[in-house]
Amino acid sequence: MTGESDATKACEALGLDRKTVTTAEAPVEQAVSCYIASMPFLWLEINDEPGPESLRASIEGNAIALLSNHPRPPLDPASPGCLGHFSDRPWVLNSVLWNQQHVEEAHDPMFPDALAELIDANGHET
């Protein structure tokens, strides 16, 4: 692994050891996990190897680019309490997605139709 992790950088910036930060984060991590677990989702079978040119990478990048509010006015603004509003990272703050990759990209205009076809091929209704 090259470089430091974000968690290591945060610990150093706060002057705290990793165990102290991990212990303090635990209730937040649990609350986030519970919230995400309550959301509806679907599984899509994608039979290719992970990598930058894979179908799964294309879906991830296009979905993030489609949902990102950066650098344009939001189509569906986040709630005032959204954690993205409190980030010190410009891409997170502007996109209101807790992500830094793909938020400045434009999605492929064919992506929504291609995703709908993939959903249909997996036996789900669109």
Give pLDDT, residue 99.
83
Give pLDDT, residue 54.
94
Give pLDDT, residue 60.
94
In tens digits, the chain (126 residues) has pLDDT values of 344 567 788 788 889 898 998 898 899 889 989 988 999 988 888 889 999 999 999 999 999 999 998 888 887 888 888 888 888 888 888 888 888 899 999 999 999 999 999 999 988 876
| Alpha-carbon distances of 107 from 56, 62, 64, 111, rounded to whole Å | 14, 5, 8, 7
H helix or E strand, kind and range, residue 54: none
Which residues lie closer than 8 Å to 125 by C-beta, 6 or more apart?
119
Give pLDDT, residue 2.
43
pTM, 2 dp = 0.70
